[in-house]
């Protein structure tokens, strides 16, 4: 007889997201200064660095947004940190 696992009581945002290519899970607290490569560069902006992890108000709320800076132009993008886990859009490191 097989038993079903108990349903998870942890919300999805509390679990670390799985990093692209099966690497260690991403944690929003450890994203600062991490390097990323856009799979489909626009305006010659391919390499990015996480320059800011936006702390929510109040501090008890989970981190949701980050700022990425393009190395080539210095332009800053703001996005939800979980978007970095989409391998069709981002690759971890500078590829």
pLDDT, mean of residues 42-54: 96
10 found inside a domain = no
Is the pLDDT at 8 greater than 70? The verdict is no
> Sorting pLDDT into bands at 50, 70 and 90, what band is 41?
very high
Confirm whether 51 is domain-assigned: yes
Q: What is the pLDDT of residue 57?
A: 86
> Taking a C-beta distance cutoff of 8 angstroms, is the pair 63, 81 a contact?
yes
23 pLDDT higher than 70: no
CB-based contact 81:31 (threshold 8 Å): yes
Beta bridge partners of 42: 45
Asked whether residue 77 is domain-assigned, the answer is no
Number of structural domains found in the chain: 1
Q: Is residue 82 part of a domain?
A: no
Assess if residue 9 is contained within a domain.
no
Please, are residues 32 and 67 in contact by the beta-carbon 8 Å criterion? no
Q: Looking at the predicted structure, is the pLDDT value of residue 25 above 90?
A: no
With respect to residue 93, please indicate whether it lies within any of the assigned structural domains. Answer: no
CB 69 within 8 A of CB 52: no
Partner residues linked to 49 by β-bridges: 35, 69
Instruction: Give residue 32's domain range.
Output: 22-58
In a domain, 6, yes or no: no
Mean pLDDT of 27-51: 95
């Amino acid at each position: 007889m097989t038993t079903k696992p108990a349903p998870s009581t942890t919300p999805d945002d509390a679990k670390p997201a799985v990093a692209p290519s099966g690497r260690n899970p991403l944690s929003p607290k450890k994203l600062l200064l991490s390097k990323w490569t856009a799979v489909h560069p626009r305006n010659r902006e391919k390499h990015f660095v996480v320059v800011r992890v936006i702390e929510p108000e109040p501090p008890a709320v989970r981190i949701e947004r980050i700022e990425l800076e393009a190395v080539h132009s210095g332009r800053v993008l703001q996005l939800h940190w979980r978007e970095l886990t989409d391998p069709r859009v981002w690759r971890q490191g500078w590829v």
